[in-house]
Amino acid sequence: MEKGYVENGFIVDLSNSRRTADMIYELSRILDIPEAKGRGVCIKFGSSVLEKSQLLSVQALVESMDLTIEFITTESEETKQVAEELGIKVSSLENEIPVPEFTETAAKEEEQVNPELEKALDKIFGDSDFSEDAVKEIAEVQEQTDDETMKELEKELQEYIEKSKETEKLPTLYIQRNLRSGQSIKSDGNLVIIGDVNPGSEIIAKGDITVWGILGGIAHAGCDGNLYTKIRALKMNAIQLRIGDVFARRPDSVNIPFVQKTDTFTPEEARVFRKQILIHKIHEA
């Protein structure tokens, strides 16, 4: 399949939507933000099977907002055929930014990462005690919680702590730059971005994702299905978050221009617990 990339484009992931109404709602709320204006839209449908009427509805919405669909990505042969009938280009999203493979040579180079950078990252993000803090909170309210429920929660949280540490063994890719709208990066290990991830861009990793800046685009950690990965950022303002197969989107009330202009940074972390993405502030009592 041809690989596509649109300079200054805007990536939208609808792979989690199945019904037409969900697709239209998700697409309209994303493309309505100021950062999407005047962009070429790249839509990801994943494995969703779209009928002609569904794709026509999506196309009509995009055009009604004075935007154009540059191409779509899909794993469904049925959706590909429908797109071809409608004259919509089908492609796979290409990493516009070169990403090195994790070889023995790359691993040795990784060991030479600026130690000052690692110290700064550790100081800001450190080893979050999200799960351990949760165990302590459970212990504090154990008088209101029956023993069986508390033991079950403690077991789940302890399992989470152990399995989440496995991602530390994965190699880490460091990217020192801002990601513009339309840019995409995928890593086979952990991913650290030193810069902002702007709306319309996406970052995908098999391991953890850390953004030393504003996370305003799409972030997918644990893309191979690992639910024990996490997403961290100095300012969590992602349009869409995904960890493993669990999906979450930014609340409609968030004002993106205001958040991006603020000088206040409160590091946050997103993790999955009981099939939900939970976001908590780091270093806050």
Predicted confidence (pLDDT) per residue in 174-230, tens digit: 898 999 998 999 998 999 999 999 999 999 999 999 999 999 999 999 999 999 999
- Determine the pLDDT at residue 10: 93
50-82 pLDDT, tens digit per residue, is 999 999 999 999 999 999 999 999 999 999 999
In a domain, 250, yes or no: yes
In a domain, 103, yes or no: no
Last residue of a domain, one of 93, 110, 132: 93
In a domain, 269, yes or no: yes
Same domain, 179 and 272: yes
In a domain, 49, yes or no: yes
Last residue of a domain, one of 93, 122, 154: 93
- How far from 166 is each of 67, 72, 145, 235, CA to CA, in Å? 43, 34, 31, 25
Mean pLDDT of the 234-242 span: 91
Residue 46 burial (CB count, 10 A) = 15
Taking the C-alpha atoms of residue 137 and residue 152, their distance in angstroms, rounded to an integer, is: 14
- Determine the pLDDT at residue 76: 94
- How far from 97 is each of 114, 178, 185, 186, CA to CA, in Å? 21, 11, 7, 9
The CATH number that applies at residue 264 is 2.160.20.70
Last residue of a domain, one of 62, 93, 124: 93
Same domain, 268 and 174: yes
Same domain, 175 and 261: yes
For residue 249, what pLDDT band results from cuts at 50, 70 and 90?
confident
* Cβ-Cβ contacts under 8 Å for 138 (sequence gap 6 or more): 145, 150, 153, 154, 157
Q: Which residues of 81-94 are buried (b: 16+ CB within 10 A; e: fewer)?
A: ebbeeeebebbebe
Does residue 39 register a pLDDT over 80? yes
- Number of alpha carbons in the 13 Å side-chain half-sphere of residue 215: 31
What's the chain's average pLDDT?
80
Same domain, 176 and 86: no
The CATH number that applies at residue 82 is 3.30.70.260
For strands 246-249 and 240-243, give the pairing.
antiparallel
- Determine the pLDDT at residue 111: 47
In a domain, 77, yes or no: yes
In a domain, 277, yes or no: yes
Same domain, 173 and 86: no
Range(s) of the domain holding residue 185? 169-281
- Provide the domain count of the chain: 2
In a domain, 74, yes or no: yes
In a domain, 161, yes or no: no
Nearest to 180 by CA among 98, 259, 97: 97
